[in-house]
Structure 1
């Protein structure tokens, strides 16, 4: 099932997951219950559009923190690739690896592109109760509006 904008529709209950970030630290979505969480799925590390999106996201982290929200970015890259990517861009936000099983988290959120073997460019708000409250996406190669998730957060 797909929404009008072509992004797959999501289940109301956000699928839980546990994975590691670029520093090897474990992250579990349900551990953040009680606060809204922005999940930012992006296709690949070390690519121009993904880099520009994550730099823009990094610049807005303070605004998310002020609102009591958490931000997690996810791709199918290994933690080693994510570490090099984060270091090159001076990113402090958690970059989560959906490397193995390849794309398992993206598949749970119905944003895995089987043809390209990566996540579709999709942002998802999980509300404090653990439900999918908002999602937005763009075509491959097209950057998202960096302020759209902040605007959506104000309506959660």
Structure 2
């Protein structure tokens, strides 16, 4: 099977699409309410899977890079809230996991990172500035990890 990189729908300079999704406690998180601080949106396919666990644990282990840049980290998947809560408790993530379960993948779809054939989000990342503008984005093909150094380079630009 040949894998090509997905098309990035939202690019630097575009307004970030607004959304409201529940966190692991069922509390709604509204992107527009976070204006005034930069936000890194990290879409991922599945909780408890190998690459996703590796990527999010790497972010957890380097959370000070994001905190020192004043960036709020939000990780989003199409998993249900209860799955994300169990994973969050197991891994001790220091950032919010948001559920895009229902309507299934609606936010991932708006951001251009929903794969309807498999029903999950692709590995897409969007750095949104304090004014709600996308400043950097990357989308990886299935099975490809995101690079922590690329995150650091993007943070340096904000």
Task: Give the Å deviation of 1:43.
Answer: 0.5
- Give structure 1 regions of 4+ aligned residues with deviation exceeding 2 angstroms: 4-9
TM score, norm. by length of structure 1 = 0.92
Distance in 2 (alpha carbons) for counterparts of 1:124 and 1:24: 23
Residue among 98, 101, 112 paired with 1:96: 98
Residue range with higher mean Cα deviation, 28-37 or 138-147: 138-147
Contact kept? 1:123, 1:149, Cα under 8 Å: no
| 1:9 partnered with 2:9 | yes
| 1:73 partnered with 2:75 | yes
Task: Give the Å deviation of 1:5.
Answer: 4.8
Give SS of 2:17's match: coil
Distance in 1 (alpha carbons) for counterparts of 2:23 and 2:112: 21
Contact kept? 2:40, 2:125, Cα under 8 Å: yes
Give SS of 2:157's match: coil
Give SS of 2:74's match: strand
The count of corresponding residues between Structure 1 and Structure 2 is: 153
Contact kept? 1:64, 1:71, Cα under 8 Å: yes
Show the counterpart of 2:32: 30
Query: CA offsets, 1:24-43, max 9 Å, x none?
Result: 22211111111110000001
Q: Gapped runs of 5+ residues in structure 2?
A: none
RMSD (Å) for aligned C-alpha atoms: 1.5
Q: Gapped runs of 5+ residues in structure 1?
A: none
Distance in 2 (alpha carbons) for counterparts of 1:70 and 1:104: 22
Task: Give the Å deviation of 1:90.
Answer: 1.8
Task: Give the Å deviation of 1:7.
Answer: 3.1
